[in-house]
Chain A
Amino acid sequence: MTTVNGDMTEQLHDKRTVVIEPAGLDRLIEVLSRQGYEVVGPTLRDGAIIYDRLASTADLPVGWTDEQGPGTYRLRRRGDNALFGYAVGPHSWKKFLFPPALTLWRARQAGESFEMEAETAAEPRYVFFGVRPCELQAMEIQDRVFMKGAHIDPSYRSRRENIFVVAVNCGHAGGTCFCVSMQTGPRATFGHDLALTEVVGNGSHYFVVETGSGAGAEILDDIPHREARDEEIAAADRLLCDTAGRMSRELETNGIRDLLYRNYENPRWDDVAGRCLTCANCTFVCPTCFCHTVEDVTDLDGRHAERRRPWDFCFTADFSYLHGGSVRSSAKSRYRQWMTHKLAAWIDQFGTSGCVGCGRCITWCPVGIDITEEARAIRESER
């Protein structure tokens, strides 16, 4: 499986490029399930493509695609049987690695003192089936937050170290995608055990599969496959090239850190605050947003306590509450905090942008605020 320092594993195995038929993917799910993994991936639910348990490829959104725009998300039929013919939906893999609600520990009162209960059992082992290249980068970014600083989140680490990653290169550019600007897609280059490119059309349907780790190469032994022919590899490459050319948006990242640090007082923040509902949808759907809070609760008799860690959002007044009031009381200051953190402060904190260009914050913003447009407006105000 992909290790945290995945690069090593990736370099050490003999990289192979093979072709697998759609039925081979069912075999892959079966083999991994038998190894004790819980396979999770894209599936249809309530009019959207979300991530949940997969029993077979029949659970994938077969033949569906999405139409996305600022504040808009609609599914429609593709007219073929593509398994991965859509872009990312409202969920991201962070819900498995950094769950929206987690109990950190339990304790019980014992006389004047209290006793901590032993650490909980082992975390689930997941197969992430259908991870997009931008999402691989999002996982790499959250690794830096939760595993590579002075303090480590043990729950995140044990989940992360045990995943098997099946990446899917993007043959479809979503209506709000800008991975090319963020240099995160549309082709997976690291962080996966296997990377698939789906080729569908003209009566053929196959997957060009590249191995990304020793574990990925090994599992091929159990999956029907054959060596990829040059023209098949070329067809997959063409597809990814086309996707890169169909990006709907662009974000100029050159000098963006200093740009935003220079513009704390830019009037554009007032403009965006006039539209922003401070609903925090953008942070819910963002695959890198990591803020959370800590809640201590007891049962009714007060003798059993536990500590919970739910997600938290920099768009609430409570988030920055300090005795006497909220530091960021205005919508302007909260949107500014979110975007400046994402595109600028993140670089200082973790050596990378916090944005991967997935476009979720644009699609799922109820009023269609577009981070690329806001960044451009600030840049242009300096011209």
Chain B
Amino acid sequence: MSPGPCESPMRPQPYVVRGVRRETHDVFTLELEPAGDAAPLAFGPGQFTMLYAFGMGEVPISISGDPAGNTMLVHTIRAVGTVTRALERCRKGDVLGVRGPFGTCWPVDEAAGKDVVLAAGGIGLAPLRSVMYRLLARRERYGRIALLYGTRTPEDIVYRDELEEWRGRLDLNVQVTVDRAGSDWRGNVGAVTTLLPRAEFDPANTVAMFCGPEVMMRFTMLALMKRGLQAEQMYLSMERNMKCGIGLCGHCQLGPFFICKDGPVFPYDRVKWLFGREEI
């Protein structure tokens, strides 16, 4: 999916904001369309773009929409810094800059014929939502599908309508948990790992994908390995500071890897020797 050598890889292309949706108090989703008659962005699940707010700066954001020919480029963003807060102020009709897509994809095709376990922490659900769209578009290709999602509080649950819709399906196992909740919460409380016993899969024939805080991914992997999964069946999305997205600025290095081009999605056995080391 990655583009070939590009003459001006640092120049953003203009995209028009077509939709703004508030997910939680600090998370929002933007739907973007190329300005003019530019073709919609082709991308694979797991890839990201660099989103530019005019004059404010640029941030790497995972694509969270449907990879299958949708004209909209969808990004779910948490407002935590100067640029993401500027993006939060966007309204329909505003124009943003987009570079990309960059990076590697989730192994959606490799998972055909297998059980699939997706585990997401917080906003890590965003890139895995693209995977869900792909899985559901060809549901018959896959075995059992489990989506395990943990977030801080019930108020921090993103894509709530979709999660509830998926949870209502008989061919999906969707589990949600929160770290803490008020007395009005009737759902699960606890780390994502507490949901794992509810996921049924054949360890010999399963692909697992994780996106979330490193500590969440580490414990999820440990738990799945206890259930018989091997390192090469597990994929994770890594995160580091990124400035260019094209493997030139050096910021996103993890050992020999540039997360922006060798990742963000890695097979676990490729980064196992670095994963969990402090300050790498």
Contact = CB atoms under 8 A, between A and B. Distances in A.
Given A152-B7, A307-B10, 16 more contacts: A104-B10, A105-B10, A113-B14, A150-B2, A292-B249, A294-B10, A295-B57, A296-B55, A319-B241, A320-B240, A322-B239, A322-B240, A327-B279, A328-B279, A341-B253, A347-B256
Interface string B227-264: 00000000000011101101111110101101001000
Contact of B58 (A114, A294, A323): A294
Q: Which 3 A-B pairs have the closest CB atoms?
A: A291-B250, A333-B279, A348-B256
B38 interface: no
Interface stretch (B67-75, B92-100, B125-133): B92-100
Contacts of B94: 112
A146 interface: yes
A294 B243 contact: yes
A116 B97 CA distance: 10
Given A150-B2, A320-B241, A345-B255, A329 B279 contact: yes
**In the complex, which range does the number of interface residues on chain A fall in?**
35 or more
Interface in A306-344: 307, 309, 312, 314, 319-323, 327-330, 332-333, 337, 340-341, 344
Interface string A131-150: 00000000000000110011
Contact of B250 (A113, A150, A295, A314): A314
Interface stretch (A37-45, A169-177, A297-305): A297-305
Interface of B: 2, 4-12, 14, 16, 35, 52, 54-58, 80-81, 93-95, 97, 239-241, 243-244, 246-251, 253, 255-256, 258, 261, 273, 277-280
B10 A113 contact: no
A183 B82 CA distance: 47
Contacts of B251: 291, 293, 312, 319-320
A337 B14 CA distance: 36
Contacts of B278: 333
24 contacts: A105-B8, A105-B11, A109-B55, A112-B95, A146-B248, A149-B248, A151-B248, A152-B5, A152-B9, A154-B8, A261-B273, A264-B277, A294-B244, A295-B57, A314-B250, A319-B251, A320-B240, A322-B239, A323-B80, A327-B240, A328-B279, A333-B278, A333-B280, A345-B256
A153 B241 contact: no
Contacts of A323: 80-81
Given A146-B248, A349-B256, A154 B7 contact: yes
Contact of B255 (A261, A290, A321, A328): A261
Interface of A: 104-105, 107, 109, 112-114, 116, 119, 145-146, 149-154, 261, 264, 290-298, 302, 305, 307, 309, 312, 314, 319-323, 327-330, 332-333, 337, 340-341, 344-345, 347-349
Contacts of A145: 248
Nearest to A113: B95
Q: Is chain B's binding surface mostly helix, strand, loop or mixed?
A: loop
Contacts of A348: 256
B14 A114 contact: yes
A106 B9 CA distance: 14
Contacts of A104: 10-11
Contacts of B58: 294, 296
B55 A297 contact: yes
A320 B238 CA distance: 14
A34 B57 CA distance: 43
A134 to B, nearest CB: 21
Nearest to B255: A345
A291 B55 contact: no
Contacts of B9: 151-152
Given A112-B94, A113-B14, A119-B8, A149 B247 contact: yes
A146 B7 CA distance: 12
A348 B247 CA distance: 13
Contacts of B81: 323
Contacts of A112: 93-95
Nearest to B8: A154
Contacts of A154: 7-8
